Chain A
Amino acid sequence: MSQLQQSASSQATGNLNMSISAEKNGTWQAVCPLEDIWPNTGVCALLGGRQIAIFRMKDDLLYALDNHDPHSGANVLARGIVGDLGGEPVVASPIYKHHYRLCTGACVEDADTRLNTYPVELREGMVWVQVPA
């Protein structure tokens, strides 16, 4: 477990648009022990004034994206049901059931909406998230 685990989402961020990769130099912050996130659920972390939803998927793959659901205006995505659509991991908002892709933050039902995603890692049993400066 001492090995650094690179999550799928931190790879994915590299492909995101410029504004986010420009912020790649944010600070890494420890959030919580992995056990605090039940398998196949999410939690919300308050990091540098941002609400970030962190999801623990199958095989402890971790994803982090905004907790704010722009379609309802509520901070609720961490409480959504996770799963996959066509093999791509998604979370469904508990308010109006919009799906957001965990890898990219893109909304499945509305191509114009895209959430910020954040690099997330598991380091010795602790969940770490890189928060933009």
Chain B
Amino acid sequence: MQQQKLIVVGNGMVGHYFVQELVKRHPDLAAAGIQVTVLGEEPRPAYDRVHLSSFFSGSTAEDLSLVEPGFYDRPGLELRLNARASQIDRNRQTVTLTDDSTLHYDKLVLATGSVPFVPPVPGRDRENCFVYRTIEDLEAMTAAGATAKSGVVVGGGLLGLECAKALRDMGLKTHVVEFAPRLMAVQVDESGGRVLRTKIEELGVNVHTSRNTTAITDGATARHRMVFFDETWLETDMIVFSAGIRPRDELARQSGLAIGARGGITIDDRCRTSDHNIYAIGECANWNGQMYGLVAPGYDMARIACAHLSGESATTFQGADMSTKLKLMGVDVASVGDAHGETHGSRSYQYLDEVRNIYKKIVVSEDGKKLLGAVLIGNADEYGTLQQMTVNGMPLPENPEFLILPASDGKEKPGLGVDALPESAVLCSCNNVTKGAIGEAVAAGACTIGEIKACTKAGTTCGGCVPLVTQVMKAEMRKHGMAVNNHLCEHFPYSRQELYHIVRVEQIRTFDELLEKHGKGLGCDICKPTAASILASCWNDFILKKDLASLQDSNDYFLGNIQKDGSYSVVPRMPGGEVTPDGLIAIGHIAKKYGLYTKVTGGARVDMFGARVEQLPDIWEELIAAGFESGHAYGKSLRTVKSCVGSTWCRYGVDDSVGLAVQLENRYKGLRAPHKIKFGVSGCTRECAEAQGKDVGIIATEQGWNLYVCGNGGMKPRHAELLASDLSKEDLIKMIDRFLMFYIRTADRLQRTSTWRDNLEGGLDYLKDVVINDSLGLGAELEAQMQHVVDNYQDEWKSAVDDPEVRKRFRSFVNSTVADANIVFVKEREQMRPATPEEKRQAKVIPVLALVE
């Protein structure tokens, strides 16, 4: 078989997507006779440039990576990093690299992307002048930002505003200088631009429009002085140019490929250049005089080029929908189709609210039957509906103005009605996922938004389509008769969230009352522990009270961690992992006395294994006497708050992480939740406590504490996301109170915060709105509820040993004081461990220690 040599120049988002598509078509490239070489000039493989600004809020280069580990290691595929192509020889079909090596190609794909445009202003090469494109650019900006007091972004477009947010987050006095008379001139009209400007200025960013910079010189009060055309000036310590992009077409120019009038490599509908052995895709390509600076059309081109290379010429590039929706510094901005009303005869409806700074406009066709475009600033809830109506040419409702007017009482807002969407409607344009594909995923069994994301990739790039995808998913599920049933179990026709609401509103305090009023049967091992958890987080009564004990899951039922042989482990609470020498000695004594196996846990505590049920109260009593509580190392509750040693001892520490960890563990201990909750507190950004792998992670900064949420280690690791930065301790606790209570109220049974977050419609932005901006008006209630739980905390082990009735339950046999003869141990590495069934048969066992008098 003849080998086909394929070279891909560029390993950006689109270049990498192309290779992924190719591998999807030919899982075994070598067997298909394809030899692919990918040239990437950056030191790392493809990463997510769309979310580049998250680098400033704590994401690392690894977080942003788009490449699954090992992806480029397959046979037939080679990725060369730090490899830059310098020349193409089309006659010989070779590419020459800057190191003078030469590679032969049969087919060549150019995915060279773009470069930031830097206006030709004298002084633009001065120190501390940057562009905003690569991770290296961002690292340089971060380094400069550490010593700067002020920063200017040149360019008030989409990327410029993202960049301004980054500068502001670094604590710089931030300015945006825009050449055009308004911000985001391409996507937004004049009125929209005004509203956007007001919003951005409210956030502390100074906006200067209609400003043409003529020179950059030395400043008097700062490093630079930017002089404008009218001789006014602005002084700043650093400058970032983000004034648009230019296609990287120099390789193509040198080799004589056709180039568009405004630049860009000319391509046809199959993404072929004027040389049919060469394709161009993404931002470097010019199709029909158009260049696209968004990732979705680039992905589209990658798919088409890949199909054509594989001998399939049916799919063609037909332009792209340039609709965008994003959140700039917390401000919703969306633009759909013909946002400026440039279509002949078009008319518009506009809604302006100068109090809340919301602007909405729709552009309709001359005959008033079709939607042509829209602009939404300040609130973009209708984006999905308007974008689909425009793209699919769906008929407008009778009074189209209601599409953007705020819903008034009793009047249903005209929705899209997802059933009206054609199967071919592209819901997720980043990943080209159609309504039909969502339907197929549902038919194949996906029934949560998390599963839909995993199997279709819908909503995994920019996330703008998630609400719409969720609607379609639910509609499809209904169609399949999979009644969207989230009932807890056969005894309660309610979801956990609904049950929670019922318990609170009706002030229900026992399971029997809940079952009588809202359920049927006797209950089961699903609904009983769920109800126990809900009752605990609402009222926080002693969990082993007579009417509550029978509801508790295995571990809560005996206040210890049940092991495979029916013995228990006891883990004394050590808040923040802090323990005195006397404390350690006491634990050692107890472990020795009761013959327990000891191990230091992953949560910075000492675990003592092998206690029989009748030994538990005695062990707890001794722990209490030594100043310990037994600790919730089990159960659906707060486990530990892990911490590094912090500023008290560590030469790098910025704040007292142990002190905070102790305070937090003592505040939230005993809190019952839908699943276990873990915390971490790091004293500096070195992050030794691995806080970003926890449900709640806190990292000290020079300005306060950064709060990360919804991380997870374990089976499905997930990095926590930054919820709020630079908080005082007081505000931090307030935010954690709200976050945890909101989770406890709304999550499903056994849903960790990470899964809950992945299924939260509206995602992180919604969570921020609820927790930080109090958009649901629940803040005070959530805090009060948490305070109630905190105020009613009790040492459950002490309550158990002090109550003779409860204590009596802790015995192996109701009619005998002997021990369970089935719990037997053998020795291993100088400690005991449970005997295996085989060892039990051979009776090679340590006799059970005598009961302690």
Contacts and interface: CB of A to CB of B under 8 A. Distances in A.
A94 B814 contact: no
Contacts of B837: 73
A31 B546 contact: no
A81 B522 contact: no
A80 B808 contact: no
B562 A44 contact: no
Nearest to A127: B814
Contacts of B818: 46
Interface in B553-578: 553-554, 557-558, 562, 564-566
Contact of A38 (B521, B809, B822): B809
Contacts of B527: 83
A74 B524 contact: no
B815 interface: yes
- Interface size bracket, A side: 35 or more
Nearest to B817: A46
Nearest to B613: A79
Nearest to A29: B815
Contacts of A73: 564-565, 822, 837
Given A73-B565, A75-B822, A94-B557, A89 B815 contact: no
A82 interface: yes
**Residue from the set A31, A37, A84 with the largest chain B CB neighbour count within 10 Å:** A84
Contact of B820 (A54, A58, A75): A75
B559 to A, nearest CB: 12
B814 A82 contact: no
Contacts of A37: 814
**Residue from the set B521, B558, B813 with the largest chain A CB neighbour count within 10 Å:** B813
Interface string B791-821: 0000000000000000011001111101010
A62 interface: no
Interface in A66-94: 68, 72-76, 79-87, 89-90, 92, 94
Interface in B265-317: none
Contacts of A92: 524-525
B549 A41 contact: yes
Given A41-B549, A57-B522, A81 B529 contact: yes
A44 B813 contact: yes
A94 B558 CA distance: 11
Given A41-B550, A81-B550, A32 B815 contact: yes
B551 interface: yes
Contacts of B816: 45-46
A45 B812 CA distance: 8
B815 A45 contact: yes
Given A47-B815, A94-B557, A83 B521 contact: yes
A111 B822 CA distance: 25
- Interface size bracket, B side: 35 or more
A40 B558 CA distance: 16
Interface in A5-24: none
Contacts of A58: 522
Nearest to A36: B814
A85 B490 contact: yes
Given A38-B550, A86-B490, A95 B815 contact: no
Contacts of B565: 73-74
B813 A45 contact: yes
Contact of B546 (A38, A45, A51, A97): A38
**Residue from the set B521, B547, B816 with the largest chain A CB neighbour count within 10 Å:** B521
**Chain A contact surface mostly:** strand
A43 interface: yes
Interface in A90-121: 90, 92, 94-95, 97, 99
A31 B818 CA distance: 15
A39 interface: yes
A82 B564 contact: no
Interface string B533-560: 0000000000000110111111001100
A90 B526 CA distance: 13
Given A84-B522, A84-B524, A74 B566 contact: yes
A74 B564 contact: yes
A30 B815 CA distance: 9
Interface in B236-261: none
A34 to B, nearest CB: 11
Contacts of A57: 522
A83 B562 CA distance: 21
B523 interface: yes
A45 B814 contact: yes
Contacts of B719: none
A83 B815 contact: no
Contacts of B529: 81
A40 B565 CA distance: 24
B815 A31 contact: yes
B553 A76 contact: no
A36 B522 CA distance: 21
Contacts of B522: 40, 57-58, 82-84, 89
Given A46-B815, A85-B490, A95-B564, A79 B558 contact: yes
Nearest to A32: B814
B603 to A, nearest CB: 22
Contacts of A47: 815
B528 interface: yes
B523 A83 contact: yes
Contacts of A45: 813-816
A40 B522 CA distance: 9
A91 B703 CA distance: 54
Contact of B554 (A44, A75, A86, A94): A94
A94 B549 contact: no
A116 to B, nearest CB: 16
Interface string B608-641: 0000010000000000000000000000000000
B522 to A, nearest CB: 4
A36 B808 contact: yes
Contacts of B820: 51, 75
B750 to A, nearest CB: 12
A86 B822 CA distance: 33
B551 A81 contact: yes
A92 B551 CA distance: 12
A108 B808 CA distance: 31
Contacts of B547: 39
A80 B521 CA distance: 18
Nearest to A44: B813
B549 to A, nearest CB: 6
B521 A87 contact: yes
B550 A84 contact: no
B562 to A, nearest CB: 6
B815 A84 contact: no
B518 to A, nearest CB: 16
A40 B550 contact: yes
B564 A72 contact: yes
The 3 closest A-B pairs by CB, nearest first: A94-B554, A74-B566, A83-B524
Interface of A: 31-32, 36-41, 43-47, 51, 54, 57-58, 68, 72-76, 79-87, 89-90, 92, 94-95, 97, 99
6 contacts: A32-B815, A46-B816, A51-B822, A80-B554, A86-B490, A92-B524
Given A81-B552, A84-B524, 4 more contacts: A46-B816, A79-B566, A92-B524, A95-B554
